[in-house]
Amino acid sequence: MQHTMTDKQPDTEKDTYQISDPTEFGRNLVRVAAQSQEVLSRYLEGKREHPDDDANDPMNVANAFSELLKHMATNPGKMMEAQFALWKAQANLWQNSWRRFMGEEVEPVVEPNRGDKRFRDSEWAENAVFDFIKQSYLLTANWLNDTVDEVEGMDTITRRKVNFYARQFSDAISPSNFILTNPEVLRTTLSSNGENLVKGLDNLLRDLEKGHGKLDISQTDMTKFTVGENIALSPGKVIYQNDLMQLLQFNPRTDEVFERPLLIFPPWINKYYILDLRQDNSFIKWATEKGYTVFVASWVNPDKKLAEKEFRNYMREGVMEALDAVEKATGVKEVNAIGYCIGGTMLTTTLAYMAAKGDNRIKSATFFAAQADFSEAGELQVFIDDEQLDALEHQMESAGGILEGSKMANTFNMLRANDLIWSYVVNNYLLGKDPFPFDLLYWNADTTRMPQKTHLFYLREFYRHNRLAKGEMEIAGEKLDLGKVKIPIFLQSSKTDHIAPYNSIYKSTKLFGGKTKFIIAGSGHIAGVINHPDAKKYQYWTNDELPDEVEDWVAGAKEHPGSWWPEWHKWLSRKSGKKVPARVPGDGKLKPIEDAPGSYVLVKS
């Protein structure tokens, strides 16, 4: 059912929070009540369809907060001090707000952090009531998070977990998430006679249907994009494929190319076209324009038939078979390689394996937001204790040996809940608006499944036990030692990356045996990587010294405006050999199978 929002705006301040048409408002409330019953019915139906999702505390939150309360109880004096500090701050806010009600100009007691988008509406500052609600919430949320963080005696893993979930709770109870305490939502509800709530419940029902009874929040209009039609447009061919990947070779854009091909391994938890979203921000297009012969692995979206595939299968059927295929396609044995995120972790592992076997076909490696040492791997470690991994294993076994990509997407969304969850709850369900078409968010929602054995190996061996960095990992009978990897290494990290923090990536500078270059780019896990020079956005930092601590590296780093891509090109071009006539897909021993972007990338979860 489609509904049209009323765009009427109040003419005076007096009308700002007045119902414009009581009769229509009442009719819409009746519709809202009926829709609410339908929402509840669909939710309960989803519960019946997914009984395993009702497992008791699969994220092991109760044990973490039990530890928190135990340690709080050992120092009641400090807790009383904390409670008194909150009471004092709230009393100060009451006094400030009363003075403002009486017409005085007063400075706020607390303000949102820079970049907090929840309180952008002018009424949060200009209306004394909403300003009080905002400040009272911020005082309480800051107090809660600070108090939890300051509890003494907890181990690092438990502290990280309670901090994370305390922040999830404080984000969830923000007044911006409720009709009566969000001025924009309240204004819209009254001026549109509740039409926004009717449309919002339509959106909510649609997202429940999309998630088969589980809420799958729409972050963009998925109907506006089609892979191969308005995204993933760089021309090329699939020149090789196996069960796990299609290897794409892209058409040259220069008459001559570097002799040494460029082979890219994106993460298999996402689809490769993050590197080829639009022609004006495509890394693949830009790299071909710089004279590289670009090959990219397009990973399969695995189903239950591939549940038994292991991490070493991705190494063998991914990296090793891709190297064989590139040699057949170009006649060149040696390549430069790129690994992005988990694809970079796999490439790192494969390099150690190849070093053990004396295989030196990869002559340099670049890593985009990729970790090798997971001792400080960011907030994802919250989800990687033994209890949660056991629960995940049971869940994947019940699903036939795969993990739906939406579950991983939900985990990543929790890392930035205000931006990636609650902002859409407000926009889609409370304001009743459709999400804005955005190619990056389309890619983010175009999820892929993961085979059970591969995914659990990755989580347990890398995240949980950090075996690769410790030199304890064995694959296919080979003990892996990153110190034996002597090739040049380029490590890209990003300043605000929550998934692969730059301090974690910096640890790789001490693992490899060859010369390493490390940079920090502006922005985060995606925008920090995909930053075309023509956009003239962000910045990056360089420092030729590699001190023991990343803080010392940062202190001595030089800032440069814009994209880091030209810096990388300058580095890689010197390692790419002489120029040779451009290679066209199909010229070598491998004949094209189909046009890029290929069929594997089109498979939906």
Cα separations in angstroms, 274 against 244, 265, 266: 19, 12, 9
Burial of residue 429 (CB within 10 Å: 0-12, 13-18, 19+) is buried
- DSSP states of 457-522: HIIIIIIIT-HHHHT--EETTEE--GGG--S-EEEEEETT-SSS-HHHHHGGGGT-SS-EEEEEES
Q: What is the DSSP letter of 317?
A: I
Q: Catalytic residue among 300, 326, 341, 482, which?
A: 341
Q: How far apart are CA 87 and CA 140, in angstroms?
A: 10
Reference 267, options 302, 299, 227; nearest CA is 299
Reference 494, options 462, 537, 534; nearest CA is 537
Confirm whether 583 is a catalytic residue.
no
Distance of CA 58 to the CA centre of its chain: 21
- Conformation bin of residue 238: beta by default, left when phi > 0, alpha when psi is -120 to 50: beta
Q: How far apart are CA 305 and CA 286, in angstroms?
A: 37
Reference 244, options 169, 301, 162, 311; nearest CA is 301
| Adjacent-strand bridge partners of 339 | 265, 367
Q: How far apart are CA 585 and CA 411, in angstroms?
A: 38
Pairing of strands 516-521, 594-595: unpaired
Q: Which two tokens stand for residue 408?
A: 């991983």
Contact 225, 437 (CB under 8 A): yes
Q: How far apart are CA 294 and CA 366, in angstroms?
A: 14
Alpha helices in 211-292 (DSSP H): 283-289
Q: Which two tokens stand for residue 223?
A: 């109907």
Q: Which amino acid is at 196?
A: N
Reference 451, options 321, 554, 301, 316; nearest CA is 301
SS3 content of the chain, % helix, strand, coil (to 5): 50, 10, 40
Q: How far apart are CA 98 and CA 140, in angstroms?
A: 19
Q: Looking at the annotation, which residues are catalytic?
A: 341
